Structure 1
C-alpha cells in the first residue's frame, strides 16, 4: 500500500519507506504524481496543460515515475491513473471526513472535523509554486472553512 501525502510536502510512504523529492524522480515526476493523486485519471495532454509542458516531456517523466512507483501507476485507454487498491491519498481522506461531518449536529461533527483539521494542518502542496497548486490550495482551504462554519463549532 502506498500512502500519498499532499498536505505539506508531497511524500509517499510504503512499507516503512519514505519517498520524497528526488526519490520520486525529480520535480516534474513529483508534480505529475501530485496531479494524479489530486485530480484522478488524466490524459497526457491534460497533464501537459496543467504543467505547461510538452506531451513528449510528460511521457518521459511518467516513464520515470512509473519505474519509481510501480505497481501503483497505470495507463489505460490513454489515461494515467493511480491504482485505488494500491494507493491512499490524504486529500481523499480529508474529503471523506468533511462528508462525515456534514449535516451532523455539532457534537457529532466534532470528531471528523478535528481529524480533517489535523490532516490539513500544513498547506496543501506547500512546496509547489504553480498556478494549479495555488488553485487547489485555495479550494481545500475553502472546504475546511465552509465545513467549520456549517458545523457552528470551532476546532
Structure 2
C-alpha cells in the first residue's frame, strides 16, 4: 500500500485510489490503521480522529459501519484483503504481515542501511529513498495526518543526511552530492548537507563550484538567520580555499585566489579573514587588497591588448 504521493492500494495487478475505498471516512480509518504499524487502535481514538471533538450521536456504531464498508471495498481489490482489518477487543488492528506499506519499507531499509557500510549501505539507502519519492498523503488535511507528515519529513531529512555521508565515505560522490542537495531542498539550513556538497566539490577538484556553493550557503545564513555557517562547513570551505591557491607555480590559480579574496572583502569582510594570503606569510587575514587589485588589473589589461590586437578594426 502506498501512502506517499497519495493513497493507493495495489494487489493482484489491480490498483485503486482513495475514491474506490468507500469515501472519506473509510479511507481515513485505513490510513489511521496503516500508520499504526502492528498496533491496535481503539474505537474511541478512531472516533476522535474521524470527527474530532464533536462526534455525531451513535458515532461508535457509525464507525463500525464504515469498517464493514472498508472491508468490502478491500475484498473487491483482492479476495481476502478485507480480513486484514481485524477486530480486536475495543478496537481494530491492521494485519500487515501480508501487506507492504511504503512508509514502513522506507524505515526498514533505512534501519538495515545503518547496520551496513560501504557500497552495501549506499545501495540500501538508495532503495529506501526511492520508496518515499512523494509527500505523505498530500490530499488529507487532518491534524493527525499533518503530524504524521511532519514526523516523516523529519525522518526523511535525517536519512538523506545519513545517506549522503555514507556515499561520501564510500566514494560515491554523485550519490553524496545528489542526496545532500535533496536534503538542502527540504531544509536550506541543513549544515550537514552543505558540508557534504562542499566536500564533493573539493574531492572532484571543482573548487570554483565549491566556492560558489559556499557563497550560496553563506548568503542564505546571513539573510535568513543573521549568522555565518557553523564550524563544520567553514572548515571544508577553508580547505577549498587552500586548494584554489597555487601562487608559486600556477598564475591562473593566483588570479583565482585574488578574485576570491576581493569578492569576500566586498561581500563579507568577516569571511575575508578566512582566506589564506597569497604572499607566503601563512597567516590567515594577512591580506593586501592593493596587490590583489593590481594583479586583476594586470590580467584585464593583458587580455584587452590581446583582444584588440586580434580585432579587424585595429588595422
Q: Which aligned pairs between 1:21-32 and structure 2 lie closer than 5 A?
A: 21-32=18-29
TM-superposition CA deviations, 1:103-132 (whole Å, max 9, x none): 533533211211121111100111111111
Aligned length: 152
For 1:58, which of 45, 63, 71 is the aligned residue?
Answer: 63
Greater CA drift, 53-62 or 116-125:
53-62
- Could you say what secondary structure the match of 1:91 adopts? helix
For 1:128, which of 131, 140, 145 is the aligned residue?
Answer: 140
- Could you say what secondary structure the match of 1:13 adopts? strand
Structure-1 residue corresponding to 2:30: 33
- Are 1:102 and 1:147, in contact at CA under 8 Å, matched by a contact in 2? no
How far apart in 1 are the matches of 2:115 and 2:71? 40
Greater CA drift, 143-152 or 15-24:
143-152
How far apart in 2 are the matches of 1:130 and 1:84? 24
Answering whether residue 114 of structure 2 is matched by residue 115 of structure 1, we say: no
How far apart in 2 are the matches of 1:118 and 1:39? 22
How far apart in 1 are the matches of 2:3 and 2:145? 10
Structure 1 unpaired stretches of 5+: none
Q: 1:132 to 1:113 in 2, by over 3 A?
A: same
Answering whether residue 78 of structure 2 is matched by residue 79 of structure 1, we say: no
- Could you say what secondary structure the match of 2:156 adopts? helix
TM-superposition CA deviations, 1:28-69 (whole Å, max 9, x none): 111111110111321111111222243333222112112222
Higher RCO (CA-CA < 8 Å; seq separation 6+) = 1
RMSD between superposed Cα atoms in Å: 1.8
Tell me the TM-score normalized by structure 2: 0.45
More strand by share: 1
Once the 2 structures are TM-superposed, how far is the Cα of residue 79 of structure 1 from its aligned partner?
Answer: 2.4
- Could you say what secondary structure the match of 1:47 adopts? helix
More helix by share: 2
For 2:11, which of 11, 14, 19 is the aligned residue?
Answer: 14
